[in-house]
Structure 1
Amino acid sequence: MKTFENVIRNNASLLGNVIDFNKNFDKLLPLDFTKRNTELTDKILGNTVLFSTWIDEKLNDVEARYGIGGYDEHRTIYSRSSHFNTIEEPRRLHLGVDVWGPATTPIYNFYDAVVHSFANNNNFGDYGATIILSYEIDGLKFNVLYGHLSLAYLDDLHEGKFIAAGKKFAELGVMEENGYWPPHLHFQVINDMEGFKGDYPGVCKFSEREKYLANCPDPNLILKYSFY
């Protein structure tokens, strides 16, 4: 049986970059958004400008081009938005990888794909401009959600549109377009879209961790060939 991990590893040489990065001289900074990160106070999290400044300073301090991380991470930062709250249990477990960098950073398609769907999820704390692409590699079909994008890149899309490997198809959005977050890319693999269009949970309840991680395998299997 072909698994996502096996297919991606076996076809690694065919996968392009998602964001410009040269492993020979560019640096990445892993960012921790769990309760261990005591620097992120409620004051910072409650103000997107302050939150953005905090990230920029962290990257500048170590001369990193991007911040990265977050898959299967139980994050306290989602307390900043009621979008992640439910009556019985808040959603806190992150299902994608985030790449933090400047607004207008280009986003490229890593492999031939077609547009599954797209939307402007404009709740506070949501994805903002979102594009979901469908892939088939070595007979394995899956989808990737690209969240927190520039709104302008939704204009010329339609479901089923072909997006060639290597094509720039989006940019990171400013906070007014990306759900009021510091600029970053949410990159999430989704096997079964479960009927969703233009959206899919990027954060789940911890009690549903096993279910969601089975449907959303580790995106680092794709990104590490671009970033490490």
Structure 2
Amino acid sequence: MSVLNFNHPVYPVVEFNKSTDRLLAMNFTDENTQLTEEILADTALFSGWIEKELRAGGCRYGIGGYAEHRTIYSRSTHFGTEAEEPRRLHLGTDIWGAAGTVVHSPLEARVHSFQYNDHFGDYGATIVLRHGNDDNIFYALYGHLNLASICGLQEGQEIKAGEAFAEFGVPEENGHWPPHLHFQLIFDMQGMKGDYPGVCRLSEKEEYLSNCPDPDIILRHTFQ
């Protein structure tokens, strides 16, 4: 397995005041019985549920999901059906918050690729950044962005460490999800551009998690 090493400061991915802002750990496994099929089937109801949970906890963001076996993907056939083994294991970390939340690059980067993955349940507007040098290259995928984030973007474009380069999208632009950021680290893009699986089958767990390390190695610099 590859190892991530950072020779420079790691900047916050989203704005967060550690003195005043709060973070809500969110669970989207079948243990969360509040999320009924009715809520999951209706993006507006799902968004309202997220907002209510954040308000009740007095939290600016909700967070979680890495290596979580989730039931919420049953809302979209994009992740398969129960007739065959569906994709349910989440490979990134989600940061749930308001549409328009600004996203920053934690490290110096170049734009690897971007794409509008416009299917129900997909990423919507997506950007992949390439970090590191020849000895330590990895990629960060930012999903569920707004369309303005990819407007005028170019492959190879330089993104400075700490630079604001994207925003959380509304459901109509982000794959029809409540506003949030899917943040995923990837060692090998396997020839893909503007897209990479963010959810895999449980039987593929070892293969995908070895290629997609825990984003906490970056996000701890934002929230801890």
Return the TM-score normalized by structure 2: 0.96
Alpha-carbon displacement from aligned partner over 1:109-140 (angstroms, at most 9, x marks no partner): 11110000000000000000000000006931
Determine the structure 2 residue equivalent to 1:217.
213
Determine the structure 1 residue equivalent to 2:12.
17
Determine the structure 1 residue equivalent to 2:67.
72
Percent identity of paired positions between Structure 1 and Structure 2: 58
Q: Assess, with a 3 A threshold, how the Cα gap between structure 1 residues 103 and 26 changes in structure 2: closer, same or farther.
A: same
Determine the structure 2 residue equivalent to 1:152.
148
8 A contact 2:128–2:194 mirrored in 1:
yes
The reply to whether residue 90 of structure 1 matches residue 95 of structure 2 is no
8 A contact 2:2–2:187 mirrored in 1:
no
Alignment partner of 1:130 out of 104, 126, 130: 126
Determine the structure 2 residue equivalent to 1:3.
3
| Alpha-carbon distance in structure 2 between the residues aligned to 1:25 and 1:139 | 39
Q: CA deviation at 1:152?
A: 1.1
Name segments (4+ residues, structure 1) moved above 4 Å.
none
Q: How many residues align?
A: 223
Alignment partner of 2:199 out of 196, 203, 218: 203
Q: CA deviation at 1:2?
A: 6.8
Alignment partner of 2:57 out of 59, 62, 74: 62
Match for 1:36: what amino acid?
Answer: E
Determine the structure 2 residue equivalent to 1:49.
44
Determine the structure 2 residue equivalent to 1:185.
181
CA-atom RMSD in angstroms? 1.4
Match for 1:154: what amino acid?
Answer: I
Alignment partner of 2:109 out of 97, 102, 113: 113
| Alpha-carbon distance in structure 1 between the residues aligned to 2:56 and 2:191 | 43
Alignment partner of 2:23 out of 20, 28, 47: 28
The DSSP-based 3-state class of the residue aligned with 1:29 is: strand
| Alpha-carbon distance in structure 1 between the residues aligned to 2:22 and 2:37 | 29
Structure 2's unaligned 5+ residue stretches are none
Q: Assess, with a 3 A threshold, how the Cα gap between structure 1 residues 137 and 218 changes in structure 2: closer, same or farther.
A: farther
| Alpha-carbon distance in structure 2 between the residues aligned to 1:81 and 1:105 | 25
| Alpha-carbon distance in structure 2 between the residues aligned to 1:89 and 1:137 | 38
| Alpha-carbon distance in structure 1 between the residues aligned to 2:3 and 2:43 | 39
Q: CA deviation at 1:88?
A: 2.8
Determine the structure 2 residue equivalent to 1:143.
139
| Alpha-carbon distance in structure 2 between the residues aligned to 1:15 and 1:221 | 10
| Alpha-carbon distance in structure 1 between the residues aligned to 2:162 and 2:3 | 24
| Alpha-carbon distance in structure 2 between the residues aligned to 1:63 and 1:48 | 22
